[in-house]
Amino acid sequence: MKHIKFDARGLISDSDMVIFSLSELGCYIRLMSHYWLNGELPKNSISLAKLAGCSIGEFKEVWPKVSQHFDEGPEGFSCPGLDESRGKAKEMSDRMSNVAKARWSKRRGGS
């Protein structure tokens, strides 16, 4: 799924987000987007910096604050809030796909 539900109100009113610098916010959004598309973030700081689009030096400055929004696991970092949203979006996508398939099947005279 390529589309992510983006909570603009939460972004500008959540006390954790309001204190993000522009660099921290950019890092967070890029990592969150990568996580949405791929379902995982690596543990390696160099890889995370590349995904965030910044140098390792910049990444080391912003990561302490940004990392508070990701959970560290044995294989890498996750974002439980996005996991829940992705699950709901997948359910809706599957449901709509099944409705469309049923409609096309009826039009073609299928069972």
The per-residue pLDDT for range 45-76, each reduced to its tens digit, is 999 999 999 999 999 999 999 999 999 999 89
> Which of 50 and 40 is assigned the larger pLDDT?
50
Q: What average pLDDT score do residues 12-35 get?
A: 88
Say how far apart CA 100 and CA 94 lie, in whole Å: 10
Q: Is the pLDDT of residue 26 over 60?
A: yes
Averaged pLDDT of the chain = 85
Give me the pLDDT at residue 39, please.
83
Kindly state the greatest CA–CA separation across the chain: 62
DSSP assignment, residue 21?
-
